[in-house]
Structure 1
């Protein structure tokens, strides 16, 4: 029986850990040839290599680096037809503790990184009438978690980029959608926090989700695969929220 993504070439940025790794592994299990971009997790990259995934060191905030990486993917795997923009960074800070340099770094990766990868992979995606899935966040829609205001700005940018890119690229047959995860147990979510702090965050999230649970990377990957599949071929410009039914949105408006 043929697997769903047999013959597909998939690029996952930030693909060696957390949500990105779950996505890369899921596509591989479904028969795709996968390249996982990473910046610093060399050991994890080697682990993926043993699974048949092509690790490519690439800083998505640097367009020249993305161009180099896109050439490697095309040479090693063929023309990309699925691009998953997952790479992201987060610096937590209260509104009044604003640090411009940290916001600039988040914009460089979370927003400009998507622009860079889409533009450098666009010739391949045009040729394959491919699809793009961006990883946003429910923070970009407006959840009430302390210290994430500036991160939320960048993820709101991902959401509007998704819709604008869907509008601009639809004429080429390219679909662009996004998944907006809620709080997921990853290195990114745990960074800079003690074990006690992490447990308190988990309790907070559980108390504010309809399902009374926190997310795992494997909860997010299926939504990405669905949007990349033929089952979603009449969907573009959409954002699927996967957050356990969060109840603490800041307003009820859209």
Structure 2
């Protein structure tokens, strides 16, 4: 018996990176995963082949209509959603001198409005199921951030407040809402197309800026998501679980 047997879990942005790690971990405990992707269908299909009972669903979370269509398709193919993981997001770094309306709008639309749209479309399911919401924040949204990440940090601070407000708004419906705030995790988002030499320098830089002298792995976030998705966290609500190795950063570093 798994901790999440037959629970239907929607994880936005789950074809790769942290979302993929969360999907793999929750599926290992019996969950059926609704794998959301926007553009990378091949990675979504590869993950579906590995996870029993999973399905893939395309949606751009920055579009309310796209999210609504996705949730309707999940209902048709899988059923009622028990757990929502608002994971989809982008990391866009730029300074005030490089301010651009479209870049700012995009990061807000995906990181913050995407979570709002998806929650709105899943909320009736979650009320019915006494479900769980897990939001992906960042240590950048709780006071620690690198240089040129101001707008990213604002969106993640918004996720923190969204978590606390949703926990309050949905408490009478017995829906628990918590967030994970990762530090630097070696993933598609943080590594991108960097060379092995650049990746090595990043590892060393971030390792030196943690009390544990280590960098994070996607599996660390998957483990945290399982805790929040299971009954083991039944006495937690409206909380932000920071997983950053005990970061001892200041605000002068770049990613």
**TM-score, length basis structure 1:** 0.94
Q: Report the number of matched residues.
A: 249
Q: Which residue of 1 aligns with 2:213?
A: 212
1:213-252 → structure 2 map (5 Å cutoff): 213-249=214-250
Q: Deviations 1:98-143 (Å, cap 9, x if unpaired)?
A: 2221111010010000110000011111110101000000011122
Distance 2:78 2:41 in 1: 20
Distance 2:96 2:183 in 1: 21
Distance 1:194 1:99 in 2: 28
* 1:63 corresponds to 2:84: no
1:1-254 → structure 2 map (5 Å cutoff): 2-51=1-50, 52=52, 53-191=54-192, 193-249=194-250
1:193, distance to aligned residue in structure 2 (A): 4.0
Q: Deviations 1:162-218 (Å, cap 9, x if unpaired)?
A: 101111111111111000000111111123644433322222111110111111100
The Cα RMSD (Å) is 1.3
Distance 1:246 1:100 in 2: 31
Distance 1:55 1:234 in 2: 32
1:31, distance to aligned residue in structure 2 (A): 0.5
SS in 1 for 2:170: helix
Q: For structure 1, which segment, 187-196 or 160-169, has the greater mean C-alpha deviation from structure 2 after superposition? A: 187-196
**TM-score, length basis structure 2:** 0.94
SS in 2 for 1:113: helix
Distance 1:91 1:144 in 2: 13
Structure 1 residues 135 and 144: alpha-carbon distance in aligned structure 2, compared to 1, 3 A threshold = closer
SS in 2 for 1:50: helix
Contact 1:93 1:147 in 2 (8 A): yes
Contact 1:142 1:249 in 2 (8 A): no
Q: Deviations 1:39-97 (Å, cap 9, x if unpaired)?
A: 11111111112123211111111111111111111122211110000000111112332
In structure 1, runs of 5+ residues without a counterpart are: none
SS in 1 for 2:88: coil
Contact 1:48 1:54 in 2 (8 A): no
SS in 2 for 1:180: strand
In structure 2, runs of 5+ residues without a counterpart are: none
Distance 1:21 1:72 in 2: 20
Contact 2:35 2:48 in 1 (8 A): no
